[in-house]
């Protein structure tokens, strides 16, 4: 069991919580539930519903996405998108806070992982009770999504170009 002071220090480094004061981080900590995921366990499954976000306090995870090839429907490839570790300021499933949609990727624990689970309901209570904190978190969340969107759109341009070249061979 880690003490909550050390968790507060880790929370300061989480990307979407970086602008929060200590008292606000303590509010997030109080609204969250500690969770442990042993090596190899599945944290999020692509396509599953989910209303919780996870804050990675310790450990490493792997993010993958299914690729279903139409030439052979049984051949399901997994595209490894990212390996993330605590210290990178990682949250997982944070899109669940703002959307009623399914998980967009698979996340598996590559090592034993210690997390905080924050439900959508609790997050909204926090935003209502302290809108100034809400603005800080939602601003950084928007920034995170915006950066990911730019990266994905660059990938689309590259893939489209590669496809045009491949079809012209």
Pick the closer one to a second copy by CB: 3 or 168: 168
Closest distance of CB 58 from a second copy, Å: 27
Answer whether 126's CB lies under 8 Å from 48's CB. no
Q: Which is nearer to a second copy, 16 or 43 (CB)?
A: 16
Choice between 92 and 95, CB closer to a second copy: 95
Residue 77 C-beta: closest distance to a second copy, Å: 8
Residue 150, CA distances (Å) to 146, 147, 158 in order? 6, 5, 12
Q: How far apart are CA 139 and CA 133, in angstroms?
A: 10
Shortest gap between Cβ of 4 and a second copy (angstroms)? 26
Distance CA 166, CA 169 (A): 6
Q: In whole angstroms, give the CA distance from residue 153 to residue 158.
A: 9
- Return residues touching a second copy (CB under 8 A): 65-71, 79, 95, 98-99, 101, 104, 127, 131-132, 134-135, 138-139, 141-143, 145-150, 152-153, 155-157, 159-168
User: Minimum Å distance from CB 36 to a second copy?
Assistant: 28
Q: How far is the CB of 2 from a second copy (least distance, A)?
A: 30
Pairing of strands 60-68, 52-58: unpaired
Residue with Cβ nearer a second copy (5 or 70)? 70
By beta-carbon proximity to a second copy, the closer residue of 36 and 67 is 67
């Amino acid at each position: 069991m880690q003490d909550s002071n050390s968790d507060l220090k880790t929370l300061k480094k989480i990307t979407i919580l970086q602008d929060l004061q200590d008292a606000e981080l303590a509010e997030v900590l109080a609204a969250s539930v500690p969770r442990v995921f042993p090596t190899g366990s599945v944290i999020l499954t692509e396509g599953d519903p989910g209303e919780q976000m996870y804050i990675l306090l310790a450990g490493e995870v792997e993010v993958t996405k299914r690729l279903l090839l139409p030439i052979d429907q049984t051949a399901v490839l997994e595209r490894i998108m990212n390996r993330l570790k605590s210290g990178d300021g990682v949250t997982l499933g944070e899109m669940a806070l703002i959307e009623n949609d399914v998980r967009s990727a698979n996340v598996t624990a590559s090592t034993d992982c210690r997390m905080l689970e924050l439900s959508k309901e609790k997050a909204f209570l926090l935003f209502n009770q302290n809108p100034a904190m809400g603005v800080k978190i939602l601003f950084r969340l928007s920034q995170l999504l915006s950066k990911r969107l730019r990266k994905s759109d660059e990938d689309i341009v590259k893939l489209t170009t590669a496809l045009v070249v491949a079809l012209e061979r």
